[in-house]
Amino acid sequence: MRIYPAIDIRGGRCVRLKQGDFSRATEFFDDPADAARAWIAAGASYLHVVDLDGAKGGAGVNGGAVARIAALRAPVQTGGGVRTLSDIEDRLALGVSRVIIGTAAVRDPAFVSEAVRLFGDKIAVGVDARDGFVATHGWLKTSGVRAVTFCQDMARRGVSAIIYTDISRDGMMSGMNAEATAEIIRACPGVGVVASGGVSSMDDLAAAERIGAAGAIIGRALFDGAIDLAEAVRVYEGGILPEPAKFRPEPAKFWPESAKFRQEIPEEIRFGADGLIPAVAADAETNEVLMLAYMNAESLALTLETGFAHYYSRSRRSLWKKGETSGHTQRVRAVRYDCDGDAILLAVEQTGAACHTGSRSCFFRSIGGDAAPPTTAALADLYRVVSDRRGNPSDGSYTSALFSGGIDRILKKVGEEAAETIIAAKNRDKREVVYEVADLLYHLTVMLAEQGVTWGDIAGELAGRFGKKKAEYRKY
């Protein structure tokens, strides 16, 4: 679970409000970047920064302070006054990693859809609730929209992360509203929900992890010393070494419905001195790397026995099943180990997000390079979005309109895009070819989804043709 130290900025200074009341503000740092440096020195891996003046006034005010924080070595998510696509671009230009949309998401949900389409996982939605209803404009107004209903709509629009704040608890050191947060988590499978408001003790963090929160935002409790940030990061983001494993399984009880794993765990697998072995989970269809975790012998045996990924938590010193609380399970289709026997690779079918931040993969940050995503991963992601639009039609969605028009409309578009691709190729225009083929692949994806065929089915057919003559292909 990610720990997010909070830095709220008002008038260029770091402050904390009580229950979102601007008249009940306490100043802690003249320069918010000093707060950021303190949290980073304590081990913070991600910072939560809010422009309170922007949230109240509807336009970013404290961009300079945000930029100074973003220039430090920890990634930043920021919100407050984000109302337009230009606002998002301006915040990203400051160097932040994720932009939080608040009031504008309630006022114009379609704006969120467009933002997600353009910026993907760099978009989160901040849902601030008072008595179960969404509050807006820096918490100054309460809408008639129920928080749970609103969060479900955001999930359908492709939002990968929601920051859920109970305003009545915020800044009061009274404990988080675990029940309301858990309701949001249950209502939005596949979305990383970050708990906020009232987190005031290690017990609150334990409650957040127990209900499946992707992260927890800590504000006043850090300034007042009620929570030791270094200890919170150590416990909930890893770093505690487990006791050496004493368990070595007997020949494992493998999946009853499959003969793939009816064998003992190979003796060549080498667990480390701490009893652990690193385990990489990758998408079975696209080979996209999703996450890195650790296994001991017992969790490996459970994975083989049940067909679902089980790992060993170094922080809690206990076994855990991936997705047990969040629903983001990993059904294992293959287990491999490397040439040295000191690393495991799981080929999995991932439900929802693999990363606790709400991203599909934990590896969403880059040090350098600009390589495009693997072709199969891009097509699989496209297929997931298209399938979601089919099952959850959205007003103003072109994809939803294609499905509502039926197979004839879809096939007409496939034919048109095929013709345009031919013209582009005849023109010998590489950029035009790329553009038209992308359009063709999109419309083919819609057609495949309508037919119940996946890109994995196509890849399997192609793989079966390697090394064969055309006459040897099996037609059906």
Specify the CATH number for the domain of residue 406: 1.10.287.1080
Q: Does 269 lie in the same domain as 152?
A: no
pLDDT at 239 over 50: no
308 within some domain: yes
Q: Does 220 lie in the same domain as 169?
A: yes
Number of domains in the chain: 3
327 within some domain: yes
**CATH code (residue 36):** 3.20.20.70
| Interval 322-347: pLDDT, tens | 988 778 889 998 899 999 889 999 99
471 within some domain: no
pLDDT of residue 81: 87
335 within some domain: yes
Q: Does 257 lie in the same domain as 306?
A: yes
The whole-number average pLDDT for the span 373-382 is: 71
Q: Does 254 lie in the same domain as 224?
A: no
pLDDT band at 28, cuts 50/70/90? confident
Tell me which of 181, 209, 236 is where a domain ends: 236
Higher per-residue confidence, 36 vs 377: 36
pLDDT at 75 over 70: yes
Q: Does 352 lie in the same domain as 385?
A: no
Beta strands 161-166 and 141-146 are unpaired
pLDDT of residue 59: 66
pLDDT band at 380, cuts 50/70/90? confident
pLDDT at 77 over 90: yes
Our answer to whether residue 429 is catalytic in this structure is no
Tell me which of 236, 253, 283 is where a domain ends: 236
pLDDT at 248 over 50: no
CA distance readout (Å), 38 to 29, 41, 47, 144: 11, 5, 11, 39
350 within some domain: yes
Contact indicator for 219, 16 with CB cutoff of 8 Å: yes
Q: Does 79 lie in the same domain as 12?
A: yes
pLDDT at 284 over 70: yes
Q: Does 434 lie in the same domain as 308?
A: no
pLDDT at 362 over 60: yes
In percent, how much of the chain has pLDDT > 90? 44
Q: Does 295 lie in the same domain as 154?
A: no
pLDDT band at 264, cuts 50/70/90? low
Domain of residue 453: give its range: 375-465
pLDDT of residue 70: 92
Q: Does 247 lie in the same domain as 123?
A: no
Q: Does 350 lie in the same domain as 449?
A: no
Which residue out of 53, 128, 166, 170 is catalytically annotated? 128
pLDDT of residue 247: 35
Q: Does 14 lie in the same domain as 104?
A: yes
pLDDT of residue 263: 45
pLDDT of residue 243: 35
| Interval 143-202: pLDDT, tens | 678 899 999 999 999 999 999 988 877 655 668 888 899 999 999 988 999 999 889 999
Our answer to whether residue 274 is catalytic in this structure is no
Tell me which of 236, 262, 279 is where a domain ends: 236
pLDDT of residue 352: 84
Record the pTM: 0.52
pLDDT of residue 349: 87
304 within some domain: yes
**CATH code (residue 325):** 3.10.20.810
163 within some domain: yes
91 within some domain: yes
Q: Does 360 lie in the same domain as 381?
A: no
| Interval 212-238: pLDDT, tens | 999 999 988 998 889 999 889 988 886
Which residue out of 8, 51, 204, 439 is catalytically annotated? 8
pLDDT of residue 455: 83
